[in-house]
Chain A
Amino acid sequence: MAEQVPEQEQRRPQPAARPAAQRPARRGMTEEQVQATQIAAERKREAMEEGKVLTWPDLVYAEFLSAVFLTIVLFIVSLVFNAPLEEPSNPNKTPIPSRAPWYFLGLQEMLVYFDPWIAGVLLPGMIIVGLMVIPYVDTKPTVGIGRYSWKGREWQYIFFIGGFALWLLLIAIGQFFRWGPWAIYMPWEPREHIKVVAEHLWWCPLHKDPPANMFCPYGFLLYALYNGLVFTYPFWLRFLHKDWGERAMNYYRQLGLVRYLIVMFFVSWTLFLPIKMAMRLGLFPLFWGVRLKYLVVTPWFNI
């Protein structure tokens, strides 16, 4: 035992031997993520050397002025527009349409395209978790820190801005194009006329009415095919375009299997939302003019 002691001492890492900049910042980070942390620290040191302005007055005045400006705008808006207050609540009288506040219209609009357990529970949960996951599945942690850089982050920009725009689109549809029993009304259509949409709906791609055995193999296969294509895109993209396929393959290798599956889970659902919207509105090329209620029909749940 006594002989082993010096050996252990030798193996013990020497804190002074490694410069602070090369020490990994946190465990479980990739080389690149560690590098990004180091760049950020370096940047902080550099910024301290040059190019700094005083918080008072440069920042404090800007904050003060923007706060004053916002207060004035809010005052004017509050003087001109009254916050809505309708008649007292009455549980026996359902207003038509009953519209959620605008910031929740995205959710209410999704209820048209999916069953409530997906639109009201699963999708909101996935949006929240999906947003939180972003920094941990970023394959370019060193690109575009602290500046607007389309270059190098093209797909990140497209996906995030696309998702943001989709959310705003849902809100806009819910606010301006929905009336009565939550039917599509163009701005020029008379709102007194109450539309009934449900009777034109197909239950699933093969059945106008609910199938007796509650199963639609055609839709199920299409959905499986869609997910299969999304999840395996690095493996088939090379047959269409060699460079893109190579890039996709690199992306998969960078992420590793687990993180790749997490990303593709969110990607497939994000892309599925506009697809399902088009199907429900009869605008999807494969089922043009057919308003589909469900794509996947099973005895337990429908998608």
Chain B
Amino acid sequence: MSEERQTPEQSERSEAQRPTARTTDGQGEGLLMRLINSHFIRSIYRTPWPVDRRSRIMTVLNSLVLHLHPTRIPRHAVKVSYTWCMGGLSFYLMLLLTITGILLMFYYRPSPEHAYWDVKYLMNDVPFGRILRNMHRWAAHAMLITVWLHMLRVFLTGSYKPPREFNWVIGVNLLVLTMLLSFTGYLLPWDQLAMWAVTVGTNMARATPFLGHEGPFGPQLGMTPYNDVRFALLGGSIVGENALIRFYVWHCLGFPFIHAWLMAIHFWRVRKDGGISGPL
């Protein structure tokens, strides 16, 4: 981000107003400003409350979360009519899902005896359990919509074109992972809806060419219900105990790790490939 370094006149100005604990004194008289300028709050943030151009840039530069962004961005990039906000909201929904998901894990045991009744308990007895589960569910649905719309937006604005080709590829993988996360999560309530949706879904794996026992050339290669790709997915020949624990681990650990890793690359590549796409 060397291009973001201040120009000579800016550095002259900043020489005069070098950020110190007292820089923003007199900016506000109220209780809030006194609190913001207190010793403790000032020690949390590496930059004083942003009031001028320099401190605003430094705020973004000096914050771990905000420095995912460049310090300055093209004017069109802040327009909702251009971005539809969908990429950012997908990321936000992922955070929301992680938080609600972790809280749900406190109450959920992935075994056929407990799973369904733990969810019932969450829905009826756990304080705020119902809204917790509802939010996790609806946020997951919302995330699929935002991810799809993000892909549509990126296509329509030609934002996959060179040099951003590979970021598009990563994005497609993120879309697939989002769907896999939703699908694995669907089994966990262990009710009729969950079991039969996953049965329908994984039955397709039976028909995988070469690797499924009902697929073309599968039987010829020695595939049976007990050694084919469906068996590997479910840990058995039916959607049972083993399938539940497998889906649970994929949903809570496996896929989120891959997802987070790909997301890091996705965001990093946005910056490296020249920031958000813009008109020629």
Q: Which residues of A are interface residues toward B (Cβ below 8 A)?
A: 25-26, 29, 33-34, 36-37, 39-41, 43-44, 47-48, 51-60, 62-63, 66-67, 70-71, 74-75, 77-79, 81-91, 93-95, 98-104, 107-108, 111, 115-117, 119-122, 128, 131-132, 134-136, 138, 141-149, 153, 156-157, 160-161, 164, 300-301
Contact = CB atoms under 8 A, between A and B. Distances in A.
Contacts of B212: 117, 121
11 contacts: A36-B163, A37-B163, A39-B280, A54-B71, A55-B71, A66-B85, A88-B191, A89-B112, A116-B214, A135-B169, A138-B160
B39 to A, nearest CB: 23
B275 interface: yes
B200 to A, nearest CB: 5
Contacts of A66: 80, 85, 88-89
Given A89-B194, A146-B157, A160-B155, 15 more contacts: A36-B163, A40-B161, A40-B162, A40-B273, A51-B74, A58-B78, A60-B60, A67-B92, A74-B142, A82-B130, A89-B191, A120-B203, A121-B209, A142-B161, A149-B158
Interface stretch (B15-23, B27-35, B179-187, B248-256): B179-187
Interface string B84-125: 010011001100100000000000000010001001100100
Given A78-B131, A83-B134, A85-B119, A134 B199 contact: no
B195 A141 contact: no
Contacts of A39: 280
A71 B151 CA distance: 22
A59 B205 contact: no
Contact of A51 (B75, B96, B137, B163): B75
Interface in B125-153: 130-131, 133-139, 141-142, 144, 148, 151-152
Contact of A135 (B133, B161, B191, B217): B161
B75 A52 contact: yes
B204 A70 contact: no
Contact of B57 (A29, A54, A117): A54
B201 A104 contact: yes
Which of B157, B189, B192, B212 has the most chain A CB within a 10 Å cutoff? B192
Contacts of B85: 62-63, 66
Contacts of A128: 172, 176
A120 B200 CA distance: 10
Interface string B166-178: 0011001101100
A48 B3 contact: yes
A99 B197 contact: yes
Contact of B135 (A56, A74, A148): A74
